[in-house]
Amino acid sequence: MVLATPTSESIYRKQITKNKKIRLQKNFNKRINMTPYIFLSIFICIMGIIQVLATDKISTIGYETKNIKLINNDLSAEIAELEVEIATLIDIDNINLKAIELGMNKQTSDLFIKSDVPLIKTSYIPEKYKYYNEAFERQKKEQKVELAKNIFSDFISFLNKTKDAILKLF
């Protein structure tokens, strides 16, 4: 039988505490660096917020288009109602009666106005417009020439591609 003395017990405790300190020191050295994980989690949170904001904007646009479609349907219905009213008013007699009620009477005779000044027999185009006309015609011709050049270059490239394809076959 071994009896523990107070001095041996204190030595044992000191050794345990030293071992614990050493273990804790080793564990501290083995700890994972959390900085990348923190940045990664912040990045994931930011991406989630961006997705929520984008979804919010998309849903807002969806609701706005739905409202626009409803307004369009309402306007189409009003147009259809107006068309029906116009179709019922096509009766000429009713139109004439309404016109008379509003004071819109038919003209009884034609109105003639006499003038002592004769009409100008020919009208000349001012010079500034002639210049514009010439410039416009010149621009049209240049566009036609450019179009012809493009068509010709496309045709030549087509011929070259077909030639290359034929040569690859043989």
- What would the DSSP string read from start to end of 134-168? HHHHHHHHHHHHHHHHHHHHHHHHHHHHHHHHHHH
Residue 10 pLDDT > 60, yes or no?
no
Q: Where are the domains of the chain?
A: 34-106, 125-170
CA pair distance 137, 145, nearest whole angstrom: 12
Q: What is the pLDDT of residues 143-153, one digit of tens each?
A: 999 999 988 98
Collect all residues with Cβ–Cβ distance below 8 Å to 105 and sequence separation of at least 6: 99
User: Per residue in 113-137, is it b (16+ CB within 10 Å) or e — as a string?
Assistant: eeeeeeeeeeeeeeeeeeeeeeeee
What pLDDT band is residue 129 in, cutting at 50, 70 and 90? low
Q: What is the pLDDT of residues 21-37, one digit of tens each?
A: 666 666 555 556 778 78
Please state the pTM of the whole predicted model: 0.29
Lowest mean pLDDT among 3-12, 15-24, 81-90, 101-110: 3-12
